[in-house]
């Protein structure tokens, strides 16, 4: 299973973040980058690979829900 949608970091302990996707929460590891609680991020294979600026999150979700 993999989620291509941005999730919100709700907790960080050492290098493990807990990410809220609305319908579920998942853990992911921070390898590089500075992340804070409330940041939106993209995860691939349980690794945080990118931060998504909050103003871009809705557009991302819209595209993934609809597409053409």
Partner 1 sequence: MEPEVLFIKYALPCSQIIKQWNEISNEEFSQLEEAAINNKVLPKEFLEKVFFRAFERIKIVAKELNKDVWHPDVIRAYFIDKHNSIIDQGQGNYALAPQTLKNLCKVQKARVLEIKGDCLIVGYGNQKRVVLNHLVPRAKVNDIVTIHYGYAIEKL
Position 16 contacts partner 1 (CB under 8 A): no
Tokens of 39: 């940041």
Q: No. of H helices and E strands in the chain?
A: 1, 5
Geometric angle at alpha carbon 46, from 40 and 48, rounded to 5°: 35
Mask: binding to partner 1, 29-68, rule CB under 8 A, as x and -? Answer: --xxx--------x-xx-xxxxxxx--xx-xx-xxxxxxx
How many residues lie near partner 1 (CB under 8 A)?
28
Binding site for partner 1 (CB under 8 A): 1-2, 4-5, 31-33, 42, 44-45, 47-53, 56-57, 59-60, 62-68
């Amino acid at each position: 299973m993999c989620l291509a949608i941005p999730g919100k970091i709700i907790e960080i302990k050492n290098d493990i973040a807990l990410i809220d996707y609305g319908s579920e929460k998942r853990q992911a590891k921070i390898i590089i980058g500075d992340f804070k609680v409330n940041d939106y991020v993209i995860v691939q294979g349980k690794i945080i690979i990118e931060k998504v600026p909050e103003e871009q999150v809705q557009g991302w979700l819209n595209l993934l829900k609809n597409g053409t």
